[in-house]
Structure 1
């Protein structure tokens, strides 16, 4: 009887041990897969892109760079909120999608303080829901867009509109638009000494010229957060050169120390036909904060 009981005990012990080992194996597999995904989304992609000293790796492809853009780094901001946004319907699909919303980190260390915050919004177009939302939050808001006339605002509080576009230099461009660098705009508005809480950019590829200039001229030290819509369409040279050149300009933000805390694929933008004849997103809504302020 005792022997029979011992056999039952040992049998149960073996079954439990096997089950436990299977759970460990499953956990290790899942952990490995998650690590592999995270690595391919950011660090691994950077290694592939810059595998050769002094030049870009031939291994780099559009999907590598898409994964880098898609890495959201959730957790870098504990209290993330989207401001603005409007529902649109694509003409060729029975599908609504949100556009114009931007991520802002409201963690205590970095959040805009209502009644004492400044927002620059580049690219107003016909959707100023973000500007309205930041006004309601309690910020001074300046909207910039050389492509439209004065917006017909109806709210109690209104943002200050400037018919100016952002790029890397001051000029009247071939379309007759007044374009300025970020530093020139700050000087024009008398904001050379001010801290800008949020800079929003939706400027249809001009970001690839504006961001390097902002880094070079030192204005990044006065910016707490950047919310940016990237645009990877329209070839400059080959698809590879175009995509990688544009990636490098955005990558400079993170090399400069800015911490990504959000990234979302632009809804309704699921084709890269112009770039590499593959199906993938070519617009991303990305956001970063300046650790200089977060960890002050």
Structure 2
């Protein structure tokens, strides 16, 4: 059996909040009824890339009950925030960005996974979902050996899926609740012309994986994508995948712009800031920031602003149950 050796690891935190639940459009269309199999919902899309018509059909057996057509607007770019100052400068953009990621937006009890315990105030939070065996964690990484956070959640009752393109087998299961998948998450689908290449065959967007796995939500998404995080986060926002996520634990790297992020230094930092503001507009709130002092202390290759090159940002979806 394939196993990974124990190593030193960084403790991660989860947020304990009481927030209302949101439902997918399909679930809202299901009529009330008794027993299982009362109705089925299927959907399909028509039209070109912009806009998209999505149709939901609710049926009882083979008998159609009703069909709803929804016109969806596809976003291609995020909305950039105004410049931090009338004259764009790295100093202005960097100070605004660093202040933003260093300021918690919500007062949230957070705890290490090892400390999870009963709490009468947390009937709708992650602790309750773990104990009810209804929690799902997706962990995105690129060859990282630190999997103690995932193992701890799996041992606590959470369904854990770790995506790592470096493993030898397509899928590996350890215990009852921990799976490893030889898949890499990208912000775009692979080019069909070169999809036969092994690397591209194992590369997919997160939305595609959710659909293939039959998963409608992720309670916790943990990602350490080694500078691909900015474009992946942009894809999750533009395709509304973040609406299906309860908590985000993202490691960001700011020693260089990141993959396919272009522009001068002030433009790059403005883009980073705008991405995080998009999360805020999606009702995500920053509840914990870890500044990694073991990494080079720099921002865009400059030792300035007392900045680390690596931070872990933890966000909670305040509309999540």
Partner of 1:280: 307
- What is the distance in 1 between the residues matched to 2:84 and 2:294? 31
Q: Which runs of 5+ in 2 are unaligned?
A: 1-79, 115-120
Question: Aligned to 2:150, which of 120, 131, 149?
Answer: 131
Distance in 2, matches of 1:187 and 1:130, equals 25
**In structure 2, what is the equivalent of residue 200 of structure 1?**
222
Q: Aligned pair in 2 of structure 1 residues 240, 82: CA closer, same or farther (>3 Å)?
A: farther
Tell me the secondary structure at the aligned position of residue 315 of structure 2.
Answer: strand
Please report how far the alpha carbon of residue 140 of structure 1 lies from its aligned counterpart in structure 2 after TM superposition.
0.7
RMSD (CA atoms): 3.2
- Give the aligned partner of residue 289 of structure 1: 316
Q: Equivalent residue for 1:60?
A: 92
Q: 2: distance between equivalents of 1:125 and 1:150? A: 16
CA distance in 2, matches of 1:221, 1:109: 17
Question: Which 10-residue stretch deviates more, 163-172 or 135-144?
Answer: 163-172
Q: Give the Cα–Cα distance (whole angstroms) in 1 for the partners of residues 172 and 214 of structure 2.
A: 24
Question: Alignment partner of 2:278: what SS?
Answer: helix
* Secondary structure, aligned partner of 1:293: coil
Bigger mean CA offset, 125-134 vs 151-160: 151-160
Counterpart CA distance in 1 for 2:168 and 2:223 is 18
Q: Cα distance 1:243–1:107, how it changes in 2: closer, same or farther (>3 A)?
A: farther
Mapped contact 1:66–1:281 kept (Cα < 8 A): no
- Report if aligned partners of 1:72, 1:264 keep a CA contact under 8 Å in 2: no
In structure 1, the partner of 2:43 is: none
CA distance in 2, matches of 1:213, 1:47: 18
Greater helix share, structure number: 1
What residue number does 1:231 align with?
253
Residues 81 and 117 of structure 1: CA distance in aligned 2, closer, same or farther (over 3 Å): same
Matched, 1:161 2:184: no
> 2:186 & 2:171 partners in 1: Cα distance?
25
Of 246, 260, 266 in structure 2, the residue corresponding to residue 240 of structure 1 is 266
Of residues 110, 121, 125, the one that matches 1:110 is 125
Q: 1: CA distance between counterparts of 2:95 and 2:222?
A: 26
Q: Which has the larger radius of gyration?
A: 1
* Alpha-carbon distance in 2 for matches of 1:284, 1:190: 32
- How far the C-alpha of 1:62 sits from its partner, in A, is 2.2
Match of 1:28 in 2: none
- TM-score relative to the length of structure 1: 0.64
Higher strand share: 2
Instruction: Provide the rounded CA distance (Å) in 2 between the counterparts of 1:82 and 1:175.
Output: 37
Q: Secondary structure at the match of 1:289?
A: strand
Which of the residues 64, 69, 73 maps onto 2:101? 69
In 1: Cα distance, 2:241 partner to 2:113 partner: 24
The size of the alignment, in residue pairs, is 221
TM-score by length of 2: 0.60
Judge conservation of contact 1:167–1:207 (CA < 8 Å) in 2.
no
CA distance in 1, matches of 2:254, 2:164: 21
Structure 1, unpaired ranges of 5+: 1-45, 85-105
Counterpart of 2:285 in structure 1 is: 259
Closer/same/farther in 2, CA of residues 76 and 150 from structure 1, 3 Å limit: farther
User: What corresponds to 2:57 in structure 1?
Assistant: none
Which aligned pairs between 1:11-30 and structure 2 lie closer than 5 A? none
Call closer, same or farther: CA 1:219–1:153 in 2, change over 3 Å.
closer
Which of 193, 204, 208 does residue 184 from structure 1 map onto? 208
